[in-house]
Amino acid sequence: MKIRRSERLIDITRYLLERPHTLVPLTYFAKRYESAKSSISEDLGIVRRTFHSRGTGILETIPGAAGGVRFIPTISKDEATEFIDEMTTELSEQSRLLPGGYVYLSDLLGQPDVLRTVGRLIATQYVEQQVDAVMTVATKGVPIAQSVSAYLNVPFVIVRRDSKITEGSTVSVNYVSGSSERVEKMELSKRSLKQGSRVLVVDDFMKGGGTVNGMKSLIEEFESELVGVTVFAESAFAGERAIADYTALLSVDKVDSRDKTIHVAPGNYLARTFK
């Protein structure tokens, strides 16, 4: 009997971690392990306490006949702070400096452990809000969108600057690129977003906010609603940003191409998420 409980706990943990934000009825587990609902209930209590004490997330109980449990991944303030500090150091590396004051990020945003944590961070910020889809613009925002989408368990959609014949009909908008003041075009496949969706916008980098503002217009074209905007890093911008209300994990305050120095600080994420 002791072995059975052990096995159940391991398998329940795995099952829930793979299905965040999904309601799982107690009867599902009772059937899967051929166990009494009372035993499963006890198991879930242990999982709930352990997830809580280790900062893994919340195991919600929904009572009643249509009820069950739902795992909501979160990150603790300590873990979030530690990660952001680590990234601050990483981004400040002189070797990341590119001509034109850009900062090289592609290596970080191709590392599975970095992406996992970024996903958990952003998902935690929106944990109390209804999100139906995560939106980003190709290409560099995609890994962030995908990771957030995995933790929120909702689809992500990719806005493109270039039309692709494999997307079918699209809806397009024009937008002003904040940094260059040029008018550009972005589009989204018509069938990729349902009308009335609540959309979270994420991206890797924000300068003037023009791209994010374009996505905002696109969301309006789909008669949907913007829930929030979170970017991995924002950079200093002389002038008014096209978007005022956004969250940044990191802030690239000053880039000096001559001295080859980058000054990076934590963004407003921590203050906005852990009030």
Q: How far is CA 11 from CA 29, 55, 150, 216, in A?
A: 10, 19, 20, 41
Least Å distance, CB 271 to a second copy, is: 27
Token pair recorded at residue 10 = 């391991």
For the chain, the straight-line distance linking the first and the last C-alpha, in angstroms and rounded, comes to 44
Least Å distance, CB 48 to a second copy, is: 10
Least Å distance, CB 64 to a second copy, is: 25
How does 215-241 read in b/e, with b if 16+ C-beta sit within 10 Å? bbebbeebebebbbbbbbbbbeeeeeb
CB nearer to a second copy: give 129 or 139.
Answer: 139
What distance in Å separates the CA atoms of residue 268 and residue 275, rounded to the nearest whole number?
A: 11
By CB under 8 A, is residue 166 in contact with a second copy?
Answer: yes
By CB under 8 A, is residue 47 in contact with a second copy?
Answer: yes
Token pair recorded at residue 80 = 């979030």
By CB under 8 A, is residue 132 in contact with a second copy?
Answer: no
CB nearer to a second copy: give 37 or 164.
Answer: 164
Residues numbered 173 to 232 that lie near a second copy (CB under 8 A) are: 189, 191-192, 205
Contact 255, 267 (CB under 8 A): no
By CB under 8 A, is residue 78 in contact with a second copy?
Answer: no
Token pair recorded at residue 211 = 């791209």
By CB under 8 A, is residue 30 in contact with a second copy?
Answer: no
Q: Which residues bind a second copy (CB under 8 A)?
A: 2-3, 5-7, 9-11, 13-14, 17-19, 46-47, 49-51, 53-54, 56, 98-100, 102-107, 110-113, 115-116, 138-140, 142-143, 146-147, 149-150, 153-158, 160, 162, 164-168, 189, 191-192, 205
